[in-house]
Structure 1
Amino acid sequence: MRHKKKAIIILLTVFFFSFIPCPLPFAPCPFANAADPSKELSVIEKNLKKRKQQVQETIRQEKSVLSDLEKININIRQKQKELKDYENRITKTRLQISTLEEEIAELAGKMEQRRQVMREHLRTLYKQQYGGKALVLITAGDYQELLKKSRYMSLLSHQDKKSIDTFIGEINGMNAKKKDLEVLRTNLDISRANVQKKRNELHAELAGKDKLLASVRSRRSSYESMVKELEESSVRLREMIQRLEKEKPAKLLDGKGFRALKGRLDWPIDGEVAVAFGKYYDPQYNIPVFKNGIEIRADHGEEPKAVSDGSVVYADWFKGYGLLLIINHGSGYHTLYGHLSEIFSKPGDIIEKGAIVGKTGESGLLNVPTLYFEIRYRGKPVDPMGWLKKQTKKNNR
């Protein structure tokens, strides 16, 4: 009985598998077409490696956005300096051309006068000599008069020779000045071409900065990375100020010191506040951002002034702040002037209230001319609006 059941099970199994389709005589059946686990693992590993590379590339692109901006700002400042140099050359060349043209005109006037005098002399000489040598003898009343007229003729010829030599020298001088003028005009054309070239390069750098900033804002992760870098820069700045305070304590101000000036400080530059002090949320990503100072609108090349007496402790590029000047006012107070295109002081210089500290530029994130202004007490930022005089309509642009 047991053998009979076993035989039935075997027959049923053979019967079942005989109906599984195999479309072609030599085609593998479905069970033979199962994926190779080792191949699947290889594909997964390749995809994983590709993803890792993409992540690393994204991190590399987003890494140190401020460093990229700083490089662009340095290039922009260099192009602005070169442009200014060429513009100064043009101004100098134009002045030289104007002076040379005046000299040529004056020399031409003198040459014309000398030409008229020589013409009269030659006419006199022609009448008296080529009109006949006997004319001198005939008109001479006696020997003494003849001798006198002969000497006059000799003197006249000598004077004419000197005039001719002088005239030739003036002609040579005129030709030399005209050549100099031509060289100056050629140099002027070259300088104009260089100015246009530098302007185009400057516009390209500014466009590149706009593109980078737009790219940063279009990707939340990049924007968050930039905000984080700004916060880290602020911390490094605070640590640097505290270190400088310990290394070189500034001489305290006379009287009540900087603290007594609260609410009475002159503005470093006239202009509207483009970005205020404090915490705000980015309208695009709703990311919290804290501004340690204020951005004041300005025209490029304006000259901000020191708000109070003090000594310069820093004057150089600082990541996130562009070209930065820091003034120590004593008692733990510092003022910071950022996004400058030029700085007129160096560390150790004594600065008086109202002294020009530099020129404004476009090294900030707004990519328009602004002055970034901070006040710090013992390294920590405080709201400048509580220290500056109340703005009037005259201050606003």
Structure 2
Amino acid sequence: MRPRTRSRRESLTATIVAIVLAAGLASALAVAAGAEEGQPGDAPGEQTAERSEKEEALKAVRQDIEASRRAEQELAAEIEALRKDRAALNEQLIATAGRIQDIEGNIEAVEDRLAMLEEREDQLRQSFRGRSALLAELLGALQRMGRRPPPAVLVNPDDALKTVRTAILLGAVLPGLRIETEALASDLQEMARLKRQIETEKARFIAQNRDLDGERKRVAALIEAKQQSAQQSESELGEIREKARKLAEEAQNLEELIASIDREIELARSQAALTSRAPLTPRDALGALRNPSRLEPAIAFSDAKGLLPMPVNGAVVHGFGSPDDFGSAARGISVATRAQAQIIAPSDGWVVYAGPFRSYGQLLILNAGDGYHVLLAGMDKIAVSLGQFVLAGEPVGQMGGLVLASATNVTVGRSQPVLYIEFRKDGRSIDPAPWWAEGRTGVGG
């Protein structure tokens, strides 16, 4: 994401959302007005046409409601079937999270294109202001020849372009102004093209957001289904959460928290099995990671280099070891994300902590085995539970909206949500760069 377009895209997003909301409000008002009689003085034909138009609008609204109801029923039936098949449920979770990240990337690309198009449109508008005298002279010449340019000529580039072309064809342009007039016609043609492109991109933006909303509903239903089918009872989960809360209160820093949690949540047997495994070939490792029915890490974390997906789409604002906002060397990486961006697990692992912790805000810690831990901080919501085993690519949380106050050491003064990612080996921070897969989606690609 380019920094120079980020603020324009944020304001653009707000503007488009406002347009969508206004359109929805206008539709609702039109439907409500359908029950009212026409105003006194309206011709019978006009009243009939208006009533017919309102009836069509009401019919469209009812069809949308019915389609939405059918989609929800189909999703509920699908989720109920998946609940009985853990592997299929995991597979759908990972696939849905991948689609969400794809759509988020597409929306960001649309915003980039819109920002560039509107920037060029602004440049042309400023240029037209400096050539208002030329346009006024052309209008005057056409009027003297008996032509009446449309009133919208000063605001509609298509009408203005027709006017300029007409002036050129009729010879109303003085020879000394012909070059300037042709340049004006070229710019007006570009302006008309830009407006059409902008409308197309806005329509694409609205459609992508509609798709995103549908996929978010799906992933929420899948997460709920997985939680309901978990092996542990609510009483057992309550005991684990309470123990983790007490440990977090007692721990003075992350090192103490991780050490105490690992002592309480026994994973030694699985870690020993992982440590004793023979190294896998890249092909075998990738195949193991794609098995949705696994109940422990597919491969040793040290063998997963070049295979793990980034947890979120976004721009890295602090790299490992670079100075953070306080001048200290960053022990992880910080990624500026979209509002409400989907967060996925970068690796297989057991959830050993999920909740608030000191200045980190909402913190998720995964034990990836063999002394490796993955830390994710800065989320607004965490969608997994303590003791749960998660797969690489599985949705584990969601970012919040615009950041109004800092909760971590990397978000001060930033308007976008920022996800903090840290890898640790035997309690020491390590550079995560060697583990990331090429491209955005990693194992889910």
Task: Name the TM tier (shorter chain).
Answer: 0.3 to 0.5
TM-score, normalization by structure 1 = 0.39
TM-score, normalization by structure 2 = 0.35
Greater radius of gyration (CA): 1
